[in-house]
Structures are given as structure tokens and as C-alpha cells.
Amino acid sequence: MKKIELSEKIINVSGINTRYRVVGESNKKVLIIHGWGATSYSWRNISYCLAKNGYESIALDLPGFGETPPPDNVWGVDEYVNFLVSFIKELNLDNFYLIGHSFGGSLSLKLTYEKPKLINKLVLCDAAIIRKQRLNTRQRITKAISHYGSKIVSRTPFYSFFEKIAYWFAGAYDYYQANGIMKEIFKKVINQDLSNIASKIKKECLIAWGQFDQATPLEDAFVLNELIENSKLRVIRESGHNPHRSHKEELCKILVEFFNK
């Protein structure tokens, strides 16, 4: 049996030198879109597992994450999806399986909505699609700061200092750890709710979700399962927001079963 190896590559996409990683070699392609604060490398175990089952995994570092530099201006979901379309064209991908985790899940949903002919099946893993306010006080504070912060920053000399404290209290570590323009991008994407297009997705969709996810609560998975007509829900017991790390064997088994169906 040929040894399965991970190869790292760089391709220029829309003027951005984009790092991506490929595992396996097959005409059955799987494109993996990581979540906020993560990288393509965080999905390496799933990629190896998929390769052992006859799939070729392609995972990229989105602009502003891992080894791919950030964009020059403040992007939202639409700009990231446009970038992904360009990336897909550069690699000449077609009829591929698409996996999106967390923030990558919102991008994958929008990509599937806009370019359905490119995609074979869709997987939403603990996807950050529903951006409504929660009853959780910490989440309310996070969204309020991201929404109103830019309106008061010029009027409050110490706003940036208090903003950091507030985000830390709210548990928004993704924002707290972001640098430069990525902070502004975070504030933009966190206010972009995409649940309105979920009901328009016609592709076969797997919704894989951690039972104890605190970042994107399990209730979101049930809502998406209702909204997406041709979807099935698999709850990963005892897992949190990152089942590709904590329950990689179980998640891989679920993915292979779904792809092979």
C-alpha cells in the first residue's frame, strides 16, 4: 500500500499567497474549511483518516489564519466566499465534498447556496450560522460590543482598553487573540446571520455537532436540521465545539458513511 503523506503547497489566489495542505490522492475530493482561530493543520487527523478510506483531502489556511496573510481590508462572509470560489477555480475542483467547521461552516453554507453545482455533499460541523442573541449574558455582551463599538470608539478615548476587558469577560477569546485587521473582521462576521438561506440549500447535508458545544449550542443543530430539507443530524456524545480533535475517529467514521452513501 502506498504511504499516505501530507503535502504543503502555496498558491496565489486573488493576490494572496495561500497555504493549503493535501492528504491522499483520489478523484474523490474533500475540501475542508476550518473555523475561526484555527488552521488547515488542525484537520490533519481527519484528513489522514479520509485518505485511508479513499478520499483526497484539501484544507487551506483562510486569509488571516495560519500561514496565509490577512486581506488588506475588512472582509465579511461574502468576501471570504468570493475568495473560496477563486481558490476552487485555481485548483480546478468540481463535484467535491465540502466540510465547514464553525466560521468555516457559515462560509460553506453560503458557498453551497451560491455555487451548488460545484458541490457533491455538504457537511456542517458545529457551524456558526445562527448569530442570534443568546440568553447567555456573555454572548450578549460580545455581540453588543461588536455592533456598537465602531460607533463609539471615536468618542471614547479609552474604548479600546475597555473593549478588551469586555470581550475577555464575555469569553470571546477569538477576538481577544486576534491582531490588527482581524479584530475588525471578527466584529463584522459575528453579526452576519445566515439562517435565512439555510432553507434554500437543496444539497444532501450532514449536520455533525458536539453534544456539549458552548460556542455554537446544540440547539442550533436542531434548527438547521429543520431548515435544511435534505439533512441528517448526528450528535457526537461528550464532545464540545471541536469533535475533529476530541472525537476524530468517531467523526471520521460518520463522514465516511455519509460520503459513501
pLDDT in tens, the chain (261 residues): 578 999 999 999 999 999 999 999 999 999 999 999 999 999 999 999 999 999 999 999 999 999 999 999 999 999 999 999 999 999 999 999 999 999 999 999 999 999 999 999 999 999 999 987 654 545 555 555 555 555 545 455 555 555 555 544 444 445 445 668 998 999 899 889 999 999 999 999 999 999 999 899 999 999 999 999 999 999 999 999 999 999 999 999 999 999 999
Contact by Cβ (8 Å): 244, 48 = no
Predicted structure pTM score: 0.86
Site of grid cell 484544507: 59
Three-state SS for 251?
A: helix
In the chain, what are the domain boundaries? 6-131+194-260, 137-187
The packing angle between helices 77-90 and 103-114, to 10°, is 70
Distance set, CA 256 to CA 46, 50, 63, 73 (Å): 10, 7, 28, 38
Tell the CATH topology of 6-131+194-260.
Rossmann fold (3.40.50)
DSSP string, 198-212: HTT--S-EEEEEETT
